[in-house]
Chain A
Amino acid sequence: TANRKLSPPLPSPRPRQKRGGMFCSVEDAFDNKTLDFASLGAPGPGTPGPAAPPAEPLAGCTQSDRLLIKGGKIVNDDQSFYADVYVEDGLIKQIGENLIVPGGVKTIDAYSQLVVPGGIDVHTRLRVPVLGMSSADGFYHGTRAALAGGTTMIIDHVCPDAGTSLLAAYEQWRGAADSQACCDYSLHIDIPRWHESLKEELEALVKDKGVNSFLVFMAYKDKLQCSDAQMYEIFCILRDLGAIAQVHAENGDIIDEEQKRLLELGVTGPEGHVLSRPEEVEAEAVYRAITIAKQANCPLYVTKIMSRGAADILAQAKRKGTVVYGEPITASLGADGSHYWSKNWAKAAAFVTSPPISPDPTTSDHLTSLLSCGDLQVAGSAHCTFTTAQKAVGKDNFTLIPEGTNGVEERMAIIWEKCVVSGKMDENDFVAVTSTNAAKIFNCYPRKGRVAVGADADLVLWNPKATKIISAKTHNLNVEYNIFEGTECHGVPTVVISQGKVVVEDGNLCVTQGSGRFIPRKTFPDFVYKRIKARNRLAEVHGVPRGLYDGPVHDVLASAKAVAPAPASRIAPCAGKAQAPPVRNLHQSGFSLSGSQADDHIARRTAQKIMAPPGGRSNITSLS
């Protein structure tokens, strides 16, 4: 399955037909996309145990390809209006009133509900390998939970193992996702262990594989971490390719030292995780990443904004004109970092993610404010879950606890609750941060992220009056805990439509494993690169055309070449070296600096022929 052709964007010539999906509620049953009716009856091996939800009633599933959504209020990022939506073949075909539609169309009553574009979760890690373990929620469970929460597209991170090439890792991820994902997906690629030869792979990924975003790590010393010089190199390459540079921003060097210190102090529990990764370390890395990106004139996207400091740095940089985007995640918007100090080890460990959730209880309020005012633009989930048994690998050493929290299912509801219910943003902003901005930045707009004729039929009916309490008992994940346990959310997706099919209705999930398509993304997203291109043209620097210096030049002693640094030698090899006495300029140089030169204060002026330079005689003999 690794060699499947890519489906080009809009319109998809080969929309995958998934007939017979009404029998689809079988988990992990298949490895390929071919539905085998004979095996539909029994759960396959490896079927999840404890956290598996009760089997979905088949009656709730309707797999009609033609839908009419009547009476809803359509909400886009720019405006809201009342209209009906007609969906066919996975696309939105008509929007308006009194639509003329074929007979036998399933009609969904959307009165008093909002029709919003399906959410795009820009950050998931559903297949991340940590110490030989995979995360608890694979593509199947992860995307299923996503759909349950109103998210109809995810962008997952490909994180190549040591020794695996980027391309090979990409194919691995494609293989896994194509056979398991229940909603459309796309892929970011992480770049660990940078090497010059990766440049060709980046080119191939961008040009042939539909990937336009790459993540570099500033943390995880000696494993994934990139140096500043490497980041600059990578950013320059990505800028030329028209891709988006993403960073995991934390100062790995400091963290490494702090971890050592804490372990020496005897702190081994999950509180050590947050103590060793204080906010400043995140803010520092964000500042540095922005500096580097600005030098390289490359658009920057900071994943996982977890603290006030980092968010403020980013907001400041935007004010100075840097093209930079920040992504808070469900956990930083809705969870509380004081749980790291919980007496219950398993609970404390459940919150371990990097950068950590800030112990400052005002953080989520601050981040939601910045998200509302546009200083932060996108919300992801960084969903990467591990069971308590998996987390317990680090029970005696917090540095070994696999990192990651849940959030793919809760993302939309948490943002609605924290931002819209509290009055910080309106429903249009909600659509922008949960879907539209992501689609624009990662170049799948307007196919995704908008309710418009011709766009993919990924729609959510949002009921702002319904209420739901998040709990591990009812969530659709494979883990025993939920970091948002007990949060009451006023605002719930009642119907979710993915690829024109109803996948959630009345609380019933009806998904088809492997129905998710890979959405390739083109380079040079306008939303990001228009400015970059203009700046590239402006940023050309020019030297000063001046005559050759023809004054005296000090002779550098050939012997005094800098010796190669020999850090371990204690005895100075050059102790006896005679310092050349300060050389006085015996050939009195002919230029004079006395008297100000009137035009010297003008920086970067263009070339002008100077017949008689101001400031007296100068050494310039020829003006080239």
Chain B
Amino acid sequence: IDRLLIKGGRIINDDHSFYADIYLEDGLIKQIGENLIVPGGVKTIEANGRMVIPGGIDVNTYLQKPYQGMTAVDDFYQGTKAALAGGTTMIIDHVFPEPGSSLLTSFEKWHEAADTKSCCDYSLHVDITSWYDGIREELEILVQDKGVNSFQVYMAYKDLYQMSDSQLYEAFTFLKSLGAVILVHAENGDLIAQEQKRILEMGITGPEGHALSRPEELEAEAVFRAITIASRINCPVYITKVMSKSAADIIALARKKGPLVFGEPITASLGTDGTHYWSKNWAKAAAFVTSPPLSPDPTTPDHLNSLLACGDLQVTGSGHCPYSTAQKAIGKDNFTMIPEGVNGIEERMTVVWDKAVATGKMDESQFVAVTSTNAAKIFNLYPRKGRIAVGSDADVVIWDPDKVKTITAKSHKSAIEYNIFEGMECHGAPLVVISQGKIVFEDGNLHVNKGMGRFIPRKPFPEYLYQRIKIRNKVGGLQGVSRGMYDGPVYEIPATPKYATPAPSTKSSPAKNQPPPIRNLHQSNFSLSGAQIDDNNPRRTGHRIVAPPGGRSNITSLG
């Protein structure tokens, strides 16, 4: 059915809510209002005062992530089915090029797989797993011709995907010039590698080693560093997977100082905690393995939900990348081999509602903002996605705040045999899900077609981020001081002691004679005594100085 009328619903956008009917046709929202004039034979859905919200956007999924020659059990078909069942009508998946493959080829591979399998609209982030020659051209093509405007860099996974600070600086600078959104996986890979070694040496091989080797300080440190680098370059930075209180606090603090930084907690960090890593049941403990790990601090979800509610964190993803227990068991004798990833694509909306709205932390509008609208704005999909408005895509969810559902592996749509939220009782669930103007989920039943999801291209320079960046570029320009040439004496550097190539193992010293401190025999004629009144103004523009204050100076010409 291509024509739908939703009657008597309360429409919730991120800014306000109102009662109105909605008429959908050709996959678009055609009319909003009361007493709409619609063609005959339209299927009508009675919302009975229930909430009608924009479909959720899951900004972080890995439905085809390769690991040691295998992929996660939920592919684009399974994964998007689960997404729709949970009220999410669009995903942004991560293209993950394996070392050695180019970004473009990988992008095409993902594009093709998703086109044939995906049941809901999707878009793609591209992960930069190595910074190689020629990557700039590929990035340009991806941004300009392929509709990708977001790229993820890694600060962890030493010797695999990790980038040094210099590379990050270079990558950020280039991505900013393209107008892209920079996503960061923030963990200090150097320290993790050291900790993993140490913990394995201590004989700890189980999943608890995963959490022990990645303490939350390392996450917070990397977040701090990423923000520092981004703020030097004046580019927006988006932290994927905020898993701990300290990382979230760093983001909140930084935002107060001005840098454009966004944080994305995921379903797992909002809904559960890392105490399960110590479970006696290996398979259960391993099911929670993801990076950064879930925090063993049980107060974490509450804290993250609070920050999400007050706007310090902006977007929710799922990081959905589930591996079956048999796949996880590759690491049964070594926690570093356990494939990383948890489920959450289906549970995301429900968990946020239960933890944040049902507890009174946020209202329905804020719920729409963090599950859909903010994501659409940041990734430049707004107002096509993320809003119920005439002309927007007909991705709409009728939400029932009173429905109580128990999450369990027995009834979920994902292909894995466990669920990290097992047994969690959640208030709030989707009643009807409409994707591209079609009812895809009703009364607990899915009606989806494999491959009906469209690729949604995204343009660079999202205004939500780049308006401010552009202005800051203008006002933040660096200027030198125009001053005369220094024409005093200059010490002559002996030509010999150029930096020798570091030879760390030479133990005998060459007993180099230090030249004696050279005294300035040419008495220099400038004087520093007496304060120079105007010296205290930093960054002033050039004034011609006829008689500089502070006595005679060496300046002979003012250029």
Contact = CB atoms under 8 A, between A and B. Distances in A.
Contacts of A619: 281-283
B480 A281 contact: no
A46 interface: yes
B515 interface: yes
Contact of A543 (B168, B208, B484, B503): B208
A481 B528 contact: yes
Q: How large is the interface on A (under 10, 10 to 19, 20 to 34, 35 or more residues)?
A: 35 or more
Contacts of A553: 326, 329-330, 332
Nearest to A286: B224
Contacts of B516: 46, 134
A567 B166 contact: no
Contacts of A566: 99-100
A559 B70 CA distance: 11
A481 B14 CA distance: 61
Contact of B130 (A221, A272, A565): A565
A176 B490 CA distance: 26
Contact of A596 (B215, B232, B422, B519): B422
Contacts of A138: 517
A591 B281 contact: yes
A465 interface: no
B78 to A, nearest CB: 8
**Main DSSP-derived SS at the B contact region:** loop
A422 interface: no
B195 interface: yes
B278 A295 contact: no
Nearest to A360: B538
Q: How large is the interface on B (under 10, 10 to 19, 20 to 34, 35 or more residues)?
A: 35 or more
Given A552-B329, A583-B326, A341 B535 contact: yes
Contacts of B132: 567-570
Contact of B169 (A257, A272, A283, A594): A257
B462 to A, nearest CB: 25
B390 interface: no
A544 B548 contact: no
A280 B209 contact: no
Nearest to A345: B486
A287 to B, nearest CB: 5
Contacts of B75: 582
B555 interface: yes
Interface in A132-166: 132-138, 161-165
A546 B280 contact: yes
B92 interface: no
Contacts of A271: 480-481, 538-539
A555 B14 CA distance: 47
Interface string A205-222: 000000000000000010
Nearest to B98: A574
A280 to B, nearest CB: 5
26 contacts: A134-B517, A136-B519, A137-B517, A161-B500, A163-B506, A197-B504, A253-B164, A271-B539, A292-B191, A339-B535, A343-B481, A343-B555, A344-B535, A346-B554, A389-B491, A486-B531, A541-B204, A544-B206, A566-B99, A566-B100, A572-B97, A584-B415, A589-B325, A589-B417, A593-B417, A600-B275
* 7 A-B pairs with least C-beta separation: A560-B69, A168-B509, A195-B504, A253-B165, A567-B132, A572-B101, A228-B190
Interface of B: 64, 66, 68-75, 97-102, 105-106, 109, 130-134, 158, 160, 164-166, 168-170, 173, 188, 190-191, 193-195, 199, 202-206, 208-209, 212, 215, 217-218, 220-221, 224-225, 228-229, 231-232, 274-285, 287, 296, 298, 324-327, 329-330, 332, 408-410, 415, 417-419, 422-423, 478-481, 483-486, 488-491, 493-494, 496-497, 499-512, 514-524, 526, 528-532, 534-540, 545, 548, 550, 553-555
